[in-house]
Amino acid sequence: MKNTVFAAAALLAAASAAAGAAFDSGWSVRGKRVININTVIRVNQIEVSRTADRGLDEARKHTVEAVERFRKAVADAIPEAKVTWSFSWRALHDQRQNYVDIRKRVVEYHRQYGDEITFIPGAYFAPMYNPRAQTNRDIHDALGIISRMVGGGYRPRGIVAGFLAADNLRFLAEEEGIHVAQGTIWSQYGIDNGDGDGSICYPYYPSREHACKPAQGKEDFIDCVNLDGWTCDFLSARKFGGNSRTGVGPIETYGRMGIENGMNESLAVVRSHFGDNFRRNGFGWIVVNWEICLVNHYKPEVTAALTTWLKEIRKEFPDAIVPLMSEFGEAWRRENPDNSKLDYRFVQRGTGLPNIHSEANLEIRWYMNRKFRLATLRDWTKNGPETVIDFTRYDIPAKEPPDPTTRKPRRNWSLVNRINQKQRRPQDKPVPLSALTAEERRLVDGYLKPAD
């Protein structure tokens, strides 16, 4: 029996290695339906610095059994799937037995499945609390710790961060040789400890002026692919606060909506990206971020829902793949040396599910490119007119906040100018396209081709 188990594990490891080799051999994003699964292992909810924190000590919820349950939930659905495990500074250093065991177990997953082990500065939202230079030091030192932890010359190829400042993304690319980061949460505003609305939701190279702004040319180019952290329901994302992240994440779906409605919402969002929007963009991408504390925080059926979700996706979209986030980012980078080809277009109708502001009668259209992002909204059941609910210009100067301190955090790192979808300012009131100025119409008209 023991030999049979070892043989099965060896076969699985060989299959995983073969899948990893295929991803590394220059695979193309074009024509792919991609799912990325990222995780967060931390000690405190917000690790303000190496020595200060805010929020709860989550050590009791971080057990090796929780890690094993999560990894099994993924493998039971898609055996060759890869997971990115991101450790906070304290989770890399904590000598309590549960963290020692977790680190050893995740190293085993790297060897067994090809999983990636990386760092999450600040356990989210590092720019809100840490000066840029300190975040860079944390990244550098943590990458060294992870390399020694895994051994064999291992080095992560991407990091998870929630938000990063532009200078941190530049540091990753130019000093650390890392060219992929989950460094934006494109719709987040009024939730958790940081705001970062204003970017685009698919891959782009950030500008040196602002992490949410796509680079406009060689002068402001940062060679680090910036990726979203949570694929969201575009209708819910219009709202301020918790509902803005509703989509595929476990907190906003199963945790708040229950298993049935949460599953319906999560699958509807996947169908949006893997269905008609796949045709519009030439590929589809879903990213989900699980905080490992949630495995013990919620009832077992929530983690089991991850297995069901992945199985349903594979059933409906048999070609869906689950590489590492860094593999996806590097594949996109190979095909896109700059932002000149960015022309993302999305259309979504509301799911009609309760209490998430995804109204079934509404249709949203998003246009996202190097020069701007623009969204229109209409009541499709009445063939109503389109109104502009977001127009964020990237062709004008942008500036990030100055460095924070632990006593004076900088919460808002959003890029907001002409009109913002959250409608927090009087000038954010929706307007018809005809209300844009002649200059603005010249900017957008070349991109507002029929989305269908």
Give me the domain span that covers residue 421: 343-445
More confident residue, 13 or 442: 442
Is position 294 within any domain?
yes
Is position 2 within any domain?
no
Is position 84 within any domain?
yes
pLDDT at 402 over 70: yes
**358/310 same-domain check:** no
What is the average pLDDT across 147-166?
97
Residue 20 pLDDT: 43
**124/97 same-domain check:** yes
Domain endpoint, select from 335, 357, 383: 335
| Matching residue, tokens 């955090």 | 409
pLDDT at 56 over 60: yes
Distance CA 369, CA 339 (A): 8
**105/208 same-domain check:** yes
- Looking up residue 380, the CATH number of its domain turns out to be 3.30.1120.110
- Looking up residue 68, the CATH number of its domain turns out to be 3.20.20.510
Is position 259 within any domain?
yes
Residue 8 pLDDT: 38
Domain endpoint, select from 335, 365, 384: 335
Is position 144 within any domain?
yes
What is the reported pTM?
0.93
Instruction: For the chain, give the mean pLDDT.
Output: 93
The domain tally of the chain equals 2
Distance CA 279, CA 273 (A): 9
Per-residue pLDDT band at 61 (split at 50, 70, 90): very high
Domain endpoint, select from 281, 316, 335: 335
Per-residue pLDDT band at 450 (split at 50, 70, 90): low
Determine phi and psi for 57, rounding to 5 degrees. Answer: -80, 115
Per-residue pLDDT band at 193 (split at 50, 70, 90): confident
What burial letters (b/e) apply to 308-345, b meaning 16+ CB within 10 Å?
A: bbbeebbeebeebbbbbbbbbbbbbbeebebbeebebb
Determine phi and psi for 369, rounding to 5 degrees. Answer: -155, -170
pLDDT, tens only, 379-389: 999 999 999 99
**211/350 same-domain check:** no
Paired sense of beta strands 84-87 and 362-369, if any: unpaired
pLDDT at 6 over 80: no
**287/424 same-domain check:** no
**291/349 same-domain check:** no
| Matching residue, tokens 């710790």 | 145
Q: Could you tell me the strand order of the sheet in which 33-41 lies?
A: 116-119, 84-87, 33-41, 284-291
Is position 46 within any domain?
yes
Instruction: Judge whether 140 and 205 are in contact, CB under 8 Å.
Output: no
**422/399 same-domain check:** yes
What is the average pLDDT across 260-268?
98
Residue 191 pLDDT: 87
Distance CA 33, CA 272 (A): 12
Is position 4 within any domain?
no
**63/190 same-domain check:** yes
What is the average pLDDT across 121-125?
92
Residue 54 pLDDT: 85
**240/192 same-domain check:** yes
- Calculate the CA 440 to chain-centre distance: 30
Distance CA 46, CA 23 (A): 34
Distance CA 29, CA 431 (A): 36
SS3 39: strand
**186/323 same-domain check:** yes
Q: Using CB atoms within 10 Å of the CB of residue 451, give its burial: 0 to 12 exposed, 13 to 18 middle, 19+ buried.
A: middle
Determine phi and psi for 421, rounding to 5 degrees. Answer: -60, -25
Distance CA 93, CA 97 (A): 11
Residue 2 pLDDT: 38
Is position 15 within any domain?
no
pLDDT, tens only, 366-375: 999 999 999 9
**323/363 same-domain check:** no
Residue 25 pLDDT: 61
pLDDT, tens only, 202-254: 999 999 999 999 999 999 999 999 999 999 999 999 999 868 899 999 999 99
pLDDT, tens only, 320-337: 999 999 999 999 999 999
**382/432 same-domain check:** yes
